Structure 1
């Protein structure tokens, strides 16, 4: 890899080289500790004498910008951080658009590892302990071998056939989704699936119905397309269908494990939602993010399996059943929007990384995923029981758990008003990470509560963490 230097003419060659290297160091293009090319190599690349390069290096060394190490090479010295460029967004012709995007909130961004507590109830994090790293490594290695046959080529936008077939089988087996590989689009997480749907269906002024409370990144994503967002309240049966306005183009819902409250949409409400969507010509986005884990009651049909008119876009992800780092989601698209979705994906990122696709296809096909889900189910069921036991015993005076039958998070509402900010600060001092339900409401919440994810916290730590929460609640009550 050649160092980018431009030499013009035949005069002051050492000076030209000196000034460009000096500027590259001052601006940070040549980072501290980076090794410079040997003088012989750089002279050949630039078509100048070695003496010219040596002279420029000597001047930079005298300026204390370079340092030589005998027998090793020449390196860039540590420098103060480069000054930021003077230009601001206000100088741009597109300043208004930049400002609008800069003002968009990015809720639920996970804190950096150094900002997390010893006992974390953060949501969305799957348990790392039971992940079959050895089996996954083998699948990755075999995927590398498969890559040899197609290396250097672009792949199908919709995803590799092997993975799409595996996903169709997995979704059908675990959730009753009715689809073939032709209906499946592999995406970079569930968020890209939502983005693709919004790109092909929304425009400024389009009406989108979302649950209240609900998943903030979905709301912000739809709003970024210029859509008018209508908050639809959630009761103990799920989304209140009668509140969905006529003219609504898109309906976003989490029926199996409502985010964040955790309750499940009743069968009657599901049927009413499908009927409402048919009446107004809306597409329903069914976000089935963590419903591979179900603990009690009979399985309920997913909306997609009940849909007979091609109205439901089913969105799934492997971030919850495996690890977020995998960054693979999928969309089972209804026929009416499938071709448009594929074109939108092609224009935005062409296709997902084929290495991970091949590895995941093997991981599913060989049964590793199903075995992993069963292991995690047993772990999450134990953690769930621990939490519910505490909410019905010593934490009962303060917190009322919302019933839930799936997933690995739950919500508990306060029986009496509590200063949540103070509670969270005091808990953080005791190394417990707590999260309020209030930020999931677009408007004022009818009742405040706490959101308890139990994927990131070890089973043996739950009682210790909740003991500390109880002690803080006694202090702030």
Structure 2
């Protein structure tokens, strides 16, 4: 192994080596069982005598930090970790905003969870892993890694941006060319870029209430003034939008977390309001490739004639969350700024993954995967909606025809967090509506994801949930 040791002057060289190695062992930088370089090798790299290094090793061995094995070498001992010191207190402190930022979603609930209805989790078992591995393997060859574009355009590989423009245009009627697309590390990265390019600390951002927690948590962390705007059965209430808003973040095709689409009159009203107020609309179209009936919902971006809608999409919900790839569609006036912001923040997403995804789209594998997944998710969606309507009168289902989750409210306004806690005792994990509140009074209800629960397990899971709800 390479071991960094710095010697100052020519005095007490063995003592300097001893102290630096001891500190590395105590701090955990050198782990128990890890081999140290032979004394001859370390002496050569430091340009000192082998005996000087040997003295330091012997001293550490005498104190229980190292052990020698004949014919094998010198290794760190487990006992050396016992004297680890607490790190020194630092005067550095984060900005006050970070003291109020929370993590969402929380970790998997404790206990034995047998039926996982948490939203936002796709069924990774549906993903065509063998096809993806073939495409990734092709991109990990030396000739692919040394390609002329390996340095990376901050906006993403041209082949992937073109493929995304074609896919979004065909499947969602998004009006975009390759030049309009910026490849991102998911929706959260896209939101961060938008804030960098268009907003200043103190600007007012309107979000749906209830709404998507990571979005409004990010906005707050950047010093923006987040205002929660109530939603009804047609979507965000345009009449409640603040006059001083600089941006509006919405999920119009499948409201998160309730699940209903924004009506066409409401979408037109929002576009008209934004035009009059000179406001940017951020449209998060996160999972509507999975649509199960009714007329397709036109994105705000396709209705926008003024170029003030920024359209966000993600592949995490379609494929596998670990891929962390998404995209942003922006009007030409913002192309250079977004490219520069992407360069300054993280340069680009992983290039082999981008190249593999471009092939995945162009070979028709993405469309085939979506069709297959849609059939499976539709069966789960319909089964949950049917069971909730017939077997759980405590809940009122919010109409929804798309996505990977549906919402249901408690008409009696009961404590939904308590209901979720009781459900966990029955082995059922899900989210309560109240945890999605932004600034207004929390709604009472439950959110049912069906990406992580198989169709045969739904009935038993909802039976357990019903038992939990009636134990009051």
The alignment's TM-score, normalised by the length of structure 1, stands at 0.94
Local SS of the residue matching 1:80:
helix
Contact 2:205 2:227 in 1 (8 A): yes
For residues 87 and 110 of structure 2, the distance between their equivalents in structure 1, rounded to whole angstroms, comes to 29
Match of 2:455 among 456, 459, 472: 459
The equivalent residue for 2:465 is: 469
- Residue 40 of structure 1: how far off its partner (Å): 1.9
Contact 1:2 1:45 in 2 (8 A): no
For residues 42 and 264 of structure 1, the distance between their equivalents in structure 2, rounded to whole angstroms, comes to 66
- Residue 115 of structure 1: how far off its partner (Å): 6.8
Contact 2:416 2:433 in 1 (8 A): no
The equivalent residue for 1:401 is: 397
- Residue 176 of structure 1: how far off its partner (Å): 0.6
The equivalent residue for 1:328 is: 325
- Residue 294 of structure 1: how far off its partner (Å): 0.3
- Residue 232 of structure 1: how far off its partner (Å): 1.5
Contact 1:286 1:304 in 2 (8 A): yes
Q: How does 1:395-434 map to 2 (within 5 A)?
A: 395=392, 397-434=393-430
Q: Does 1:38 align with 2:38?
A: yes
The equivalent residue for 1:68 is: 68
Q: How does 1:201-350 map to 2 (within 5 A)?
A: 201-350=198-347
- Residue 441 of structure 1: how far off its partner (Å): 1.0
Match of 1:176 among 146, 158, 173: 173
For residues 165 and 401 of structure 1, the distance between their equivalents in structure 2, rounded to whole angstroms, comes to 39
Mean alpha-carbon deviation: is it higher for 19-28 or for 182-191? Answer: 19-28
Q: How does 1:58-207 map to 2 (within 5 A)?
A: 58-78=58-78, 79-80=81-82, 82-88=84-90, 91-92=91-92, 95=93, 97-109=94-106, 111=107, 117-145=113-141, 147-150=144-147, 153-207=150-204
- Residue 49 of structure 1: how far off its partner (Å): 1.9
- Structure 1 residues 199 and 378, CA gap change in structure 2 (3 angstroms): same
The alignment's TM-score, normalised by the length of structure 2, stands at 0.95
Please tell me the root mean square deviation across aligned C-alpha atoms, in Å.
1.9
Q: How does 1:431-442 map to 2 (within 5 A)?
A: 431-442=427-438
Deviations 1:165-190 (A, max 9, x none): 11111111111100100000001111
Local SS of the residue matching 2:246:
strand
Gaps of 5+ in 2: none
For residues 404 and 149 of structure 2, the distance between their equivalents in structure 1, rounded to whole angstroms, comes to 40
For residues 331 and 227 of structure 2, the distance between their equivalents in structure 1, rounded to whole angstroms, comes to 23
Contact 1:423 1:472 in 2 (8 A): yes
Contact 1:237 1:269 in 2 (8 A): yes
How many residue pairs get matched?
A: 469
For residues 349 and 475 of structure 1, the distance between their equivalents in structure 2, rounded to whole angstroms, comes to 50
- Structure 1 residues 83 and 184, CA gap change in structure 2 (3 angstroms): same
For residues 138 and 442 of structure 2, the distance between their equivalents in structure 1, rounded to whole angstroms, comes to 53
Contact 1:202 1:225 in 2 (8 A): no
Local SS of the residue matching 2:469:
helix
Local SS of the residue matching 1:249:
strand
The equivalent residue for 2:24 is: 24
- Residue 116 of structure 1: how far off its partner (Å): 7.3
Q: Does 1:361 align with 2:363?
A: no
Contact 2:281 2:308 in 1 (8 A): yes
- Structure 1 residues 328 and 17, CA gap change in structure 2 (3 angstroms): same
Local SS of the residue matching 2:95:
helix
The equivalent residue for 1:14 is: 14
For residues 110 and 413 of structure 2, the distance between their equivalents in structure 1, rounded to whole angstroms, comes to 31
Local SS of the residue matching 1:234:
strand
Contact 1:119 1:457 in 2 (8 A): yes
For residues 307 and 232 of structure 2, the distance between their equivalents in structure 1, rounded to whole angstroms, comes to 26
Gaps of 5+ in 1: none
Contact 1:199 1:225 in 2 (8 A): no
For residues 376 and 69 of structure 1, the distance between their equivalents in structure 2, rounded to whole angstroms, comes to 56
Deviations 1:257-314 (A, max 9, x none): 0000000001111111111111111110000000100001011211111111101100
- Residue 204 of structure 1: how far off its partner (Å): 2.3
Mean alpha-carbon deviation: is it higher for 436-445 or for 345-354? Answer: 436-445
For residues 371 and 113 of structure 1, the distance between their equivalents in structure 2, rounded to whole angstroms, comes to 34
- Structure 1 residues 56 and 86, CA gap change in structure 2 (3 angstroms): closer
Contact 2:290 2:374 in 1 (8 A): yes
- Residue 151 of structure 1: how far off its partner (Å): 7.9
Deviations 1:173-226 (A, max 9, x none): 111100100000001111010111011111122121111111121112222232
Local SS of the residue matching 2:396:
strand
For residues 280 and 84 of structure 2, the distance between their equivalents in structure 1, rounded to whole angstroms, comes to 49
For residues 313 and 149 of structure 2, the distance between their equivalents in structure 1, rounded to whole angstroms, comes to 29
For residues 96 and 59 of structure 2, the distance between their equivalents in structure 1, rounded to whole angstroms, comes to 44
Local SS of the residue matching 1:129:
helix
For residues 239 and 456 of structure 1, the distance between their equivalents in structure 2, rounded to whole angstroms, comes to 29
